[in-house]
């Protein structure tokens, strides 16, 4: 790959340092696609109100796995040990997040009760209305005159004119 070499060359003109940095970048970014999945899983738990799990998953990558790796790997692998710590910690953080998601999905009921579905639907309708109302507030023909929220109905309704 030429990209790590070119990026390293932006910061220095020393060829030896560019070669070291290029090798390090190649090693460090090897598992980046899994990092994205780990972050999404952490955000999922945050969005459903499981803050403790989300915080734990956020800390696994940098604190739980990276710091011990930085203390151990350089003794066995030298300079490459520092670079290797990043993809190893990213991999284990991804595995931890995937296991947490698997446990949650396995224990979650397969179907939501009808009352929960209605609340989710109603909340989504309200959010959609608020967003679109703000986006189109200066365009009078798009705005409905009144919107009434009622938990007894399907959520949102417009009064008869």
Q: What's the rounded Cα separation, in Å, for the pair 82 and 73? A: 7
Q: What's the rounded Cα separation, in Å, for the pair 31 and 61? A: 12
Q: What's the rounded Cα separation, in Å, for the pair 38 and 61? A: 9
pLDDT of residue 149: 46
Higher model confidence: residue 145 or residue 71? Answer: 71
Residue 61 contacts residue 69 (beta carbons within 8 Å): no
pLDDT of residue 127: 53
pLDDT digits (tens, 9 = 90+) for 31-42: 888 888 899 999
Q: What's the rounded Cα separation, in Å, for the pair 105 and 112? A: 13
pLDDT digits (tens, 9 = 90+) for 46-73: 988 889 999 999 999 889 999 999 999 9
**Which band of pLDDT confidence, cut at 50, 70 and 90, is reported for residue 114?**
low
pLDDT of residue 121: 45
């Amino acid at each position: 790959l030429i990209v790590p070499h070119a990026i390293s060359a932006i910061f220095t003109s020393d060829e030896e340092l560019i070669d070291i940095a290029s090798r390090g970048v190649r090693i460090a970014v090897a598992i980046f696609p899994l990092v994205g999945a780990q972050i999404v899983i952490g955000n999922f738990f945050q969005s459903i109100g499981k803050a403790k799990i989300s915080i734990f998953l956020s800390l696994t990558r940098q604190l739980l796995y990276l710091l011990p790796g930085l203390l151990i790997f350089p003794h066995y692998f030298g300079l490459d040990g520092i670079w290797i710590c990043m993809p190893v910690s990213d991999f284990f953080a991804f595995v931890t997040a995937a296991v947490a998601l698997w446990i949650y999905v396995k224990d979650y009921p397969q179907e939501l009760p009808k009352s929960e579905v209605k609340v989710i639907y109603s909340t989504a309708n309200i959010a959609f209305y608020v967003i679109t109302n703000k986006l189109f507030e200066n365009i009078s023909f798009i705005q409905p005159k009144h919107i009434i929220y009622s938990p007894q109905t399907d959520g949102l309704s417009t009064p008869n004119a």
